[in-house]
Structure 1
Amino acid sequence: MRTTKFGAVALLLMCATPAFAEAKDKGAQDKEVWITIGTDAQEPARAAFRAQGQELPAPAREKDGVAALRVRESQLEKLAEAMHDKLNRCAGFISHDTEAQALAAVEGSTSAQPLQTLIAYTIDNGTTANSLMSGVLESNIRSTITSLSTTWTTRRYNLQSGIDAANWLKSRWTTLANGRTDVSVALFTHPSTVSPQPSVILTIQGTTLPNEVVVLGGHLDSINGSGSSYSAPGADDDASGVASLTEVIRVAMAKGYKPARTVKFMAYAAEEIGLRGSAAIASQHKSTGVNVVGVLQLDMTNYRGSSYDIVMVSDYTNAAQNTFVRNLITQYLPGVTATSTTCGYGCSDHASWHNQGYPASMPFEALMGQDNPYIHTSSDTLTQSAGSAQNSVKFAKLAAAYVAELAKGTTTIALQPTDADTGR
């Protein structure tokens, strides 16, 4: 999980497969790129670099807990590993295309007010919410996690396997859409210097408020902190989040769900090296004036590391929407316990939307430091959750309730007996 804003990372960094080796530019330079990072993370990062005989440069600017500095693109992976090992962040920094973007991010780091007017957070669409939630099946979430984490050795953003995983997911979501004319599925293609892997977006057109948009996302890529040649199944980080959203899509299509507001499901590319995919998409939405009224991020949902069921990330998120999500848990997931935690700068794709002024929330699997210790390794497999996706069920149900109550709308197909509830 975790990082934002796109910036160029050379393809030569991650060559592990013959196909990629043939495609890479062997003459590519180890370019300088700009990043922003939390000032609290600078010294642990510097210590990790010094231990390996390297130095990070002094920041070009610091303000309100955020620093901008210039690094070599070959250092980004080492930095991501240091952030994970020392501060339990993934990656804990945001990469930028230019110095101007990085400095602007520092200057805008204290912006708390969303660009869009907050909508009224009402909970009054129980029939639709319960209909969607009742259709969620653990077996389907598990199947998607298994496909994403075992079909490819890695879903790394700049390897062919990462591109193939995006194409597979697009095909899967297209099949689930089942030809509905109000539903579209598309790849969001990034410049190759940002991410050869595309992001995937499924859109359900709103019926009465189509210009108000609700976004639900997770990241598609995976990474192994030891290097590009190592296996990165990413079953929890973040096949679990993408699988939870895929199940919400499946149920919504099966129930004939018609939202009042437009709903977009997104699987972001290149999150692990600086939230690049989500940063590009959020920036595009802002520059084109799209009225995004709410964003929900699911990044790691299937590892039960804390006594709490759901942990809300409180920083770089919107307090009013966080309260709304907590109220959804109380209303629709009785017995599910919730608390809050701080995640740090550049923690996951919700930060991309927050940085553009959109209200975002991120329900997480555990308190920070108690989350899955196997992420970014070859051991991030479904085995760490006893071969089950049961822990993700409550996150899929929460996402379904979020859609029903924020996008409103109705289902048109009655619950079938085979849609039996399989647990909270």
Structure 2
Amino acid sequence: MSTRPQGATPPPRLAEDAFRSVHGREPRGVWSAPGRVNLIGEHTDYNDGFVLPFALPNRIAAAAAPRDDQLLTFATLGADGRIQRAEPVRVGDLRPGRPSGWSAYLAGVAWVLREHGVTGGADLVIAGDVPTGAGLSSSAALECAVALALLGIAGRDDPDRARRAEIARWAQRAENEFVGVPTGVLDQTASMCCVAGHALFLDVRSGETEHVPFDTDGSGLRVLVIDTRVKHTLGESEYGDRRRDTRRAAESLGLASLRDVDVDRLPDALRSLPEGLRPLVRHVVTENTRVLDVVARLRAGRADEIGPLLNSSHNSLRDDYRVSCAELDLAVELAGQAGALGARMTGGGFGGSAIALVRDRDLRDVEHAVTAGFGRAGLRRPRLFTAVPSDGAGRD
């Protein structure tokens, strides 16, 4: 199944219609950005490593029009069809913590853009179908859509490739400094820079990107997303702990980041570290190697061979980085038992989603096995859908 039912109105149209309902006029334009799945390369982005995400077809759209009074107004269309509004705020009054709540993600983008000459007011109305709380980067999609909308109504539309990467970092800064969530740049870069039919190979340190062919339709494969519908509260604090500990490990090794640990010299590096830091370092270093191995197979047209690498990634995230949870482990186990080529948790962990690489002929069996297994365990029915590598953010 898909998260967007067949025949459902796409988010850009929903945002446009909602804008008319809220403001009684036409928006200047509508811009949208996708959520993402990270095929492999987890918790490597804030260690200057390698990541390999692709964009989902599910998007968040921002309909926007300029105002001449320096006021920002925010409204969002909920899944129940109701429109929720936030308190307006003047561009000059924006500061971290004001506003708070869901509108902080929109206001934070305007706060960052203010430093880059975008100082006008705007009416913004949001609609989308990226599942929230599923580890699929709905917040990054929102930030990127709003960034493009505010730039677009300011006459700075249609950014080139280099500009897109810069906008992704602006969006990351909004989430880090304004909202207060310490994310890496993976999510925003995927939302801004992906193209259909490809995974995005990103070297976080250099900023270099490569669009690696990943045509699931043409290869007889499917990426099944398993949204466990759980999010454990320890996730945010534990995420911050992992960032601090990996930074501390790099400093102990006298390195700029764990990216600089050569996998062949990993045993020596581990012996020089406190015991509690060793598994974290082992995950980051081996995960970077797994990303490179997956990229090599995709370049060679051998996508059906990456399954064991996905499995190894999950085992490392579970045992060394300790960011998985019982529900994610169960999803991965059930998918593998039912014939998936490989499976792993995706995203920050402690809940959210897993992915499974599945042959077309096995898809229904895997879906049934996962759903039935969650039922036997007394868990909420997971949300399942196949993810097709799609285009990044743009004007609709």
Same structural fold, with TM-score higher than 0.5 when normalized by the shorter chain: no
Q: TM-score range by the shorter chain?
A: under 0.3
> Which of the pair is proportionally richer in strand?
2
When normalised by structure 2's length, the TM-score is 0.24
Normalised by the length of structure 1, the TM-score is: 0.22
